[in-house]
């Protein structure tokens, strides 16, 4: 989440007239995240999240995101529910950009990862994969091999402004992965962005309880094990980017309690971890270089994923 397109209270209040949610009480921009403009909106007696789609979002992809959230919500996954307008449509237009209102989830993202978070995350991830098995719609992953190559070409040797030699490293890793990338793994709808700020927890009688998952705007059809690889990279390293095997083991074990990995998925995991690291290294490098200076957004450090990629290039599980 972020704010690229500032909105006035009057603009938001006018937009809300298309919904049966009551009058605007308060609205505030949300700085966290990197992709779309987001506001927390208090309207009537309830709270909502208002999203304006920016940057990488394509208009034709948006119905996939809204219908997937509806599908998963209806099958017990604690995710936001898109709010229909009075005319029955989910998507509107605000400041000449596609706009969506979704329900507000209680809880907050994880600032400090604790061991008790990992089993709950693993189980949630498996439940989402299984719940989406019969989902009738498809969206290809725009940030897989072809998308990585396009980003490498767009960024070019400007990557070396982030870290000397980064352009060559990204190109060499892409060449390796494109030759060895696995195919035919079990797949279906995936979240593809299960970072600690997108998984909410609440403190309940002294224990942290998972309360919801947000931000489905990278969701796509992809190998389930790749989604798991994204989780491992995001949740199983410490603040100095050192791998924590116990976190990965807890995450994997709880996932497999609900859905066992196939032998092919287990063999592919080292490659998937490298690919997931390259994906976020590339998008973070791009955003580090190209995010507008006046955007209310906290840029994510590409060097974090450079360190994780280097680790996966050399790590051999015992």
The per-residue pLDDT for 294 is 65
Residue 301 per-residue DSSP state: P
Q: What is the mean pLDDT of residues 45-74?
A: 92
Rg, Å, the chain Cα set: 20
Is residue 33 very low, low, confident or very high in pLDDT (cuts 50, 70, 90)? low
The per-residue pLDDT for 85 is 96
Q: What is the mean pLDDT of residues 44-50?
A: 95
How far is Cα 124 from Cα 118, in angstroms, rounded to an integer?
10
pLDDT > 90: percent of the chain? 87
How far is Cα 310 from Cα 318, in angstroms, rounded to an integer?
18
Half-sphere exposure of 226 (CA within 13 A, CB side): 28
* Residue labelled with tokens 């996954």: 77
Q: Indicate the class that CATH gives domain 117-314.
A: alpha beta
The per-residue pLDDT for 58 is 82
Is residue 34 very low, low, confident or very high in pLDDT (cuts 50, 70, 90)? low
∠ CA 69-70-71, nearest 5°, is: 90
Residue 177 has pLDDT above 80, yes or no: yes
For the domain with range 9-103, which CATH number is right: 3.30.200.20, 3.40.190.10, 3.40.630.30, 1.10.287.130? 3.30.200.20
3-state secondary structure of 95: coil
Question: What is the pTM (predicted TM-score) of this model?
Answer: 0.93
The per-residue pLDDT for 1 is 40
The per-residue pLDDT for 298 is 72
How far is Cα 80 from Cα 134, in angstroms, rounded to an integer?
20
Read off the pLDDT of residues 279-302 as tens digits, 9 standing for 90 and up.
Answer: 999 999 999 999 877 666 677 899
* Residue labelled with tokens 């680790």: 311
Compute the mean pLDDT over every residue in the chain, rounded to the nearest whole number: 94
Read off the pLDDT of residues 73-115 as tens digits, 9 standing for 90 and up.
Answer: 999 999 999 999 999 999 999 999 999 999 999 999 999 999 9
Relative orientation angle of helices 263-290 and 166-180, to the nearest 10 degrees: 150
Which residue ranges make up each domain of the chain?
9-103, 117-314
**What's the CA dihedral at 131, 279, 137, 59 to 10 degrees?**
130
Torsions phi, psi for 242 (to 5 deg): -100, 135
∠ CA 236-241-243, nearest 5°, is: 40
* Burial degree of 199 (CB within 10 A; 0-12, 13-18, 19+): buried
The per-residue pLDDT for 4 is 79
* H or E element at residue 175: helix 166-180
Residue 262 has pLDDT above 70, yes or no: yes
DSSP 46-103: EEEEEEE--TT--GGGHHHHHHHHHHHHTTT-----BPPPTTS-SEEEETTEEEEEEE
Nearest to 224 by CA among 270, 274, 181, 265: 265
Q: Which residues share a beta bridge with 203?
A: 208
């Amino acid at each position: 989440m972020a704010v690229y397109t500032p909105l006035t209270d009057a603009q938001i209040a006018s937009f809300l007239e298309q919904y049966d949610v009551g009058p605007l009480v308060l609205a505030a921009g949300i700085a966290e995240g990197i992709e779309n403009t987001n506001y927390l909106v208090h309207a009537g007696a309830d709270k909502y999240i208002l999203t304006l789609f920016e940057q990488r979002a394509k208009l034709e992809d948006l119905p996939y995101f809204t219908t997937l959230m509806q599908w998963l919500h209806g099958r017990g996954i604690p995710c936001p529910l898109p709010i229909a307008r009075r005319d029955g449509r989910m998507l509107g237009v605000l400041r000449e950009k596609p706009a969506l209102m979704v329900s507000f989830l209680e809880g907050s993202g994880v600032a400090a990862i604790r061991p008790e978070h990992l089993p709950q995350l693993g189980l949630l991830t498996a439940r989402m994969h299984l719940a989406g098995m019969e989902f009738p719609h498809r969206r290809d992953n725009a940030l897989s091999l072809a998308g990585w190559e396009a980003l490498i070409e767009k960024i070019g040797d400007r990557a070396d402004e982030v870290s000397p030699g980064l352009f060559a490293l990204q190109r060499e890793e892409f060449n390796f992965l494109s030759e060895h990338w696995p195919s035919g793994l079990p797949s279906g709808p995936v979240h593809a962005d299960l970072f600690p700020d997108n998984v909410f927890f609440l403190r309940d009688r002294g224990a942290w309880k998972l309360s919801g998952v947000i931000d489905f705007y990278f969701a796509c059809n992809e190998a389930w094990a790749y989604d798991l690889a994204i989780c491992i990279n995001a949740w199983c390293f410490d603040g100095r980017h050192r791998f924590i095997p116990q976190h990965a083991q807890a995450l994997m074990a709880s996932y497999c309690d609900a859905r066992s990995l196939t032998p092919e998925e287990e063999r592919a995991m080292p490659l998937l971890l490298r690919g997931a690291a390259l994906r976020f290294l590339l998008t973070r490098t791009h955003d580090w270089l190209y995010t507008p200076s006046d955007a209310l957004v906290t840029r994510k450090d590409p060097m974090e994923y450079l360190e994780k990629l280097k680790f996966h290039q050399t790590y051999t599980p015992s």
